[in-house]
Amino acid sequence: MSTFKISIIVPTYHCVERINDVISCLQQQTIGFQSLEILLSDDGSFDGTAQKNVAFSAQYANVFSLQLPRNSGFAGAPRNAALHAATAPYVMFLDSDDSLPPDACALLYDEIERTKTDMAFGYCRRVSQNGTVIQEIPPAYANIPAHISTLPDELERELIMRDSFFCRIYKRDIIADHALSFPERTPGEDLYFLYSYLLQCKSVSFIAAPVYDYSTNEMSVTHNRTAFYYTQLGHCYEAMQQLFADAGQSAHFPTIIDHILEFHLRGMLASSCMDEDSIAGALPAWEWLFRFEQQNNLIATSPLAFTIIHLVSQKDWTSCAKLMLTCAPLARALETAHEKTQQAFAEAEKWRQHAAELQRTIEAMRNSRSWRITHFFRKR
């Protein structure tokens, strides 16, 4: 039987300068550093990361180093290797460029032990590269109190609160009993794993607290994605559709796929690695989702959307890519105008609230005894 409370799985790749911060972050956990089994799983680095992992495993009895023989390109393979090696009853995941608030492990461990649910989770904060908090609470979690959900009856609510697979603690027994693993050599592997796990849960518990700090680097996240990335991602989402179908939960799939197509089409246009040919090459992997959204009335009913749907139905990927690139500047201009309009409405609402507060203050003053006395003498 393991002496550890939680296995922390950290995939690493060319991040030698970040490993110190990872270990430091885990040393600050209030649950106790020695109660954590830390699995540094390297994906074929050649910058010294693997050697740094080995050095930490030699220094600390609760740190273990694993190394894949060659780079797999994504985090699925190193996470799977670490899952096979994990021994603690619970599992959490941490990426090398992110961090955990000091009480994260203790909060999640205490919650899942207290409630006896199959998963406990909080929410992720978005932080900048220097640690400044950009977003304290994700919109999907705003004003949602702590609660326990029974599944599958309340699966819809938990799928809406799907901000991240990181801010959760998982039972290793459920992972092992159902042979759950990450798809390898593909992006989207984290969401696939989260959904495959949720579909096996009988209950989950939410604590209204930050338990993960996600480091945002827009240049690396958005602008360097390739045609291979988007092709693999399209296939991964299609596998998620089959995942829900196999579990008899197809009715819930539109919840997780809503706005996904539009989001990633914008990503293709924003990437510096994507030109007309590469966009045309990636689009076939998303054909199934175009059809799905059309069948479920999820696509906007604009002339542009109808034109794109027609080109997709004809498998005219080149014309579709040309149309997307031609309309991209106008779409960005409309999006900017919409954002400015929303900001103007928000500013107007703020001033309306200030005016209402001022009016209430004036009314309170008029109703006060001192104001009535002063007003009485002024009239005389």
Q: CA-to-CA distance for 82 and 217, rounded, in angstroms?
A: 26
Would you state the pLDDT for residue 359?
84
Question: Do 129 and 19 sit in the same domain of this protein?
Answer: yes
Question: Do 283 and 361 sit in the same domain of this protein?
Answer: no
Q: Which of 173, 192, 216 is where one domain is finished?
A: 216
Q: CA-to-CA distance for 295 and 313, rounded, in angstroms?
A: 13
H-helix or E-strand spanning residue 65: strand 63-67
Tokens standing for 45?
Answer: 């680095």
CB of 139 within 8 A of CB of 221? no
CB of 214 within 8 A of CB of 166? yes
Q: Is 337 buried (19+), middle (13-18) or exposed (0-12) by CB count in 10 A?
A: exposed
Token pair 């649910």 is found at: 117
The SS3 of residue 363 is helix
Q: Which domain holds residue 124?
A: 6-216
Quick: pLDDT tens for 74-126.
Answer: 999 999 999 999 999 999 999 999 999 999 999 999 999 999 999 999 999 99
What is the CB neighbour count within 10 angstroms for residue 293? Answer: 22
Quick check: is 115 in a domain?
A: yes
Q: CA-to-CA distance for 345 and 342, rounded, in angstroms?
A: 5
**299: amino acid identity, one letter:** I
Tokens standing for 3?
Answer: 């002496």
CB of 193 within 8 A of CB of 243? no
Quick check: is 107 in a domain?
A: yes
Q: CA-to-CA distance for 32 and 9, rounded, in angstroms?
A: 16
pTM of the model: 0.84
Question: Do 303 and 190 sit in the same domain of this protein?
Answer: no
pLDDT averaged over consecutive 10-residue blocks of the chain (380 residues)? 93 95 97 98 95 97 96 96 98 96 98 98 89 82 89 89 87 98 96 96 96 76 82 97 96 89 86 91 94 82 73 91 82 64 72 81 73 56
Per the structure, how many domains does the chain have? 3
Would you state the pLDDT for residue 378?
57
Tokens standing for 244?
Answer: 């829900």
Question: Do 253 and 171 sit in the same domain of this protein?
Answer: no
